[in-house]
Amino acid sequence: MRLLGLDPGLRRTGWGVVDFDGVRLGYVASGTIAPDPDRPIADRLVDLHDGLRQVIADWRPDTAAVEETFVNRNAASALKLGQARGVVLLAPALAGLDVAEYHNRAVKLAVVGTGRAAKQQVGLMVRTLLPRSAPDSEDAADALAVAICHAHYSASPRRLAGAVA
């Protein structure tokens, strides 16, 4: 199964693709979509959508997962992040993918083993779990972490079903 992890943001949206056979993870690709900050917000959202559509077309994931955003103290920043997050949820849904959402603590727990891990720990564990990966940004590393988390959580029901059968 090919999984697409997404770390939403208006300035930078990280994406990461991994293959998962139910036991082993394999790095496929990762990157960052960074719309021009000097463009109007509507144009930046279009750029974000088009970038995600291209990632989906290029890598053909079977499913997608998005990191839930935390509440920001700055209302204007939270609103802009919410708009970007809407596009990040919409693009894979329009492509016919199931889209899961994970709280950032669930992602950190799945990758590092603690829900309060620092960004550096997440990046280090992503590189450990996916040795061929070389994320171009923290956002891309976070997106790979979301994909790893999705692999762990999506495998649990199948493992349970196999154990019961």
Torsion of CA 80, 82, 84, 87, to 10 degrees: -140
* Cα–Cα dist 129/24, whole Å: 10
Of the residues 19, 58, 139, 142, which is catalytic?
139
The pLDDT score that the predictor gives to residue 165 is 46
Total number of domains in the chain: 1
Q: Which bin fits 115, alpha (ψ -120 to 50), beta or left (φ > 0)?
A: alpha
Q: Which of 43, 58, 62, 67 is catalytic?
A: 67
The residue among 129, 95, 91 whose CA lies nearest residue 110 is 129
Instruction: Per residue of the chain (165 residues), give pLDDT as tens.
Output: 999 999 999 999 999 999 999 999 999 999 999 999 999 999 999 999 999 999 999 999 999 999 997 666 788 888 889 999 999 999 999 999 999 999 999 999 999 999 999 989 999 999 999 999 999 999 999 999 999 999 999 876 554 344 344
| 147, 26 contact by CB (below 8 A) | no
> pLDDT at position 162, please?
46
**Predicted local confidence at residue 76, as pLDDT:** 85
Instruction: Tell me the C-alpha distance between 52 and 15, whole Å.
Output: 8
With H, G, I as helix, E, B as strand and everything else as coil, classify residue 60: coil
Res 71: pLDDT: 64
Q: Which pLDDT value is given to residue 99?
A: 98
- Say which CATH number the domain at 64 has: 3.30.420.10
Both tokens assigned to 146: 């979301």
The model's pTM is 0.92
119-129 and 104-111 are packed helices; what angle lies between their axes, rounded to 10 degrees? Answer: 50
pLDDT confidence of residue 155: 75
139 catalytic per annotation: yes
Domain extent at residue 142: 2-164
